[in-house]
Structure 1
Amino acid sequence: MPRRLHRITSTRLTPARLTSTRLTPARLTSARPTSPRPTGGEHADRATQSGRAARVLAAGTLVASALAVAPGAAADSGMRDVLVVGNSQAGTVSFVDGRTFANLGSIDVVPDLAQRMFEIDINPVWLAGYQAVKAVEGGDRFVDDATVSPDGHTLYVSRGNLDDVAAFDLATHTELWHTRLAGFHADHAALSPDGTRYVVSATTAQEAQVVDTANGAVVGSFATGTYPHQNDYSADGAYIYNSSIGITSLPQSLEWAKGSFQLTKVDARTLQVVQTWEFPHGIRPNEIAADGHTFYADLSYLNGFVKYDLSTSKILNTVQMPYASGGNTMKPDNYPKNSAHHGLALSGDGSKLCDVGTIDDYTAIVATAGLTTSGMVAYPAGALPYWGQTSVDGRYCFVSLSNRGEVSVVDYTTATEVARVPVGAFPQRERIAKIASSVVGDLNP
């Protein structure tokens, strides 16, 4: 029988000085506004977004707060397994218990929004870039990616349209530092296994930048394909993999002009490019299997995914997934930033793929052995499922439902949804991490 679904409930920066700003408690007092500056017109009304996020969180508060954490839920003493969810419109990061799926609370990651917008407004170059990126994104996206330090005390966030990276103390919610990146958009990021480096795609600058997590200083960079997107460290931390999506603002008819769609392998120590692979379309969410050469990827405009062999540089299989009613009638130029499917994850044992049908409002569980679909979870029309992430125990796929402010929990074995967790406004990226148990009580309910 299918399982029952549970609802769980400043130093001023200039273009020439792309340096980090370390905030002391005294400067935080003067720099942080009591409420974000309402900007109107071109700027998003963050008060409205925050109110929406609060209502979504409140919907699950009673049930979530009633859930007891199972004994041994944390794998390490004093640490709690969590799913880190970036609520991009709300400017918050939510923490979902990685085993019970209870929403533990959130943290505001744009407390300095008014100051950052002031810095952008008075710089014509930054302002033009900000407005251009906002138009492509369809509005403000204050959180692109987020994760937590290995000791569970520090949160690192790439802040999308603000084009910077920031660090926060999880106990006090103090902003420790923020660093503006090159170009105009801070995209997907990856934390090194030892927690000392945070790699972020500086999308419009056509490079990935490496940030020292101790102080926010940019300590290196490497060239990528056009519009770098996802970053991942290999399990041993020796390599960084970066994939590019091309210029998404151009129509499909001009795909030839979008630039290079490239997977780049980089030596994590020297930041020298080791190898590159070219793809026929933009590389969206992707996974490298445990064998180190089997590569699965969603591609721009493809309603499905590909299986690729990195050792031979060949596409082995192109898996076409069925269109749902909405996706069947949608024109490719209306796909969200060229993505038909935008979410891919591997089960813990590597036997199943979680493929997220963004335009189709479903999640499909696919066997890696024969690439056959074992089941699908359908969502309400317009839910916009947008990312997939495997749980710490490898049994579940977490899928962000951006337009619903929720995370769907899908069982790999049964291909059924077992929980739906309210988070914040427009959740996108999700990451598995551990936080110190001592900071859980400091999260905003």
Structure 2
Amino acid sequence: MAFKRTFVALLVFGVAAIVAAPGFASENEVEADVTYYKDVLPILQANCQSCHRPSGYNISGLIAPMSFMDYAETRPWARAIARKVEAREMPPWFATAPTGVFENERGLTDDQIDTIVNWVEAGAPAGDMTDAPPARQWAEDANDGWSLGTPDFVVSMPEPYLVEDDIYDLNITFYTKISEDLLPEDAWVRGWELRVGDNAITHHMCSSVLSPDAYLPAEAVEDEGADTPDSRLLSCVAEGGESGMLPEDFGVLIEKGSSISFNMHYHKEPAEGSGAWSSPQVGFFLADAEPKYKVINDAIGNRSFEIPPNHPNYRVGSSRVLDTDIYVLDLWPHAHTRAHASRYTVTYPDGTEELLLDVPHYDQGWQVTYKYKEPKFLPKGTRIDVDFWYDNTPERAAREKFNSNRFVGYGPRTDDEMQLGFIGYAKIDDAEAMPTTNNNN
């Protein structure tokens, strides 16, 4: 998994630094201009500790392999941290443009990077503990592991599921009817949080709402996206993905008697003892009143492509023309191990173009959901283009463990590929659904 590879690199840098570097300053040294407690700890609290702690932020199964909660934990990794922040590899953010428009944008300022580098070059002194800011209070500690707060009600999979030792790739969908105790009447929700239920084997999780009259399979269905026609996608998360609350005046209706689907893609190396239990959940947060805008989540995608063997930079595109004005809330590009870049662009009815999202360093192992600070207005007649670029060369195959000597098309397995540009939005009127077109080259 790419996230794990990122931290493996961090581990290597850290070990090398410990072996090669001169000794660090002692914790009692307080004379340095830049110290851990006064200068570095506030940066770590604001940008790093959300993941680098024993029970981190819910980013769909990813857990940082080291904690930076105090000086003793951070000091051995000082040089590795400096290398990673100088290279702008940490905190992880894979989009280069636009900047300043996404609420979850991560990154350090030049001054913050200089502070960390200068601290390390000075020997990583601790400084005076009285200079330390108060410890951060974490939502997960107060809300039984939920990052967005305590949900108003939680829907769980019918029972924990054992992913057996011999499983390599498995796409399977489970269904749970929401009991009357949990949802005694129709309700609008202002957000939801998906918990994948394990920390090692879930490639992605999608959850949908099935209407009370929808056909509900009696047992789990082994198939990619095995929802019924009367279902509405809530959202998907993969490694690195995060749930979120909707803006004010936006919501989703959950009818009394509805069901929730858990569309799970498990992926691991088959081996004795590799089996694991999975217990995904969806926590819902109720709205105080009916919202003005009804949120829809779906994908602009292409399922009819073939990536040639050994091609270094093959583009696959898809597009959609809007039949109504919309507000865009979030973007989530999704592909597999050959994908190395993604981009969303729009062409307005007057012919002008705008870049919505450019991800030149797409990482299948850390799939960020790009959430707008303010809903993005797109008028009727706008064309949205989603492009992915794929590297099917032997060099990448050696790193990602796939076969580069074959044509690769759309498929649910990790060794297959996908081209899905998910989009969360709300229609501003009741125009018909938007048509989708495909284009490849």
What TM-score do you get using the length of structure 2 for normalisation?
A: 0.26
Q: Which structure's CA Rg is the greater one?
A: 2
Higher-RCO chain (CA-CA 8 Å, sequence separation at least 6): 2
TM-score computed with the length of structure 1 as normaliser: 0.26
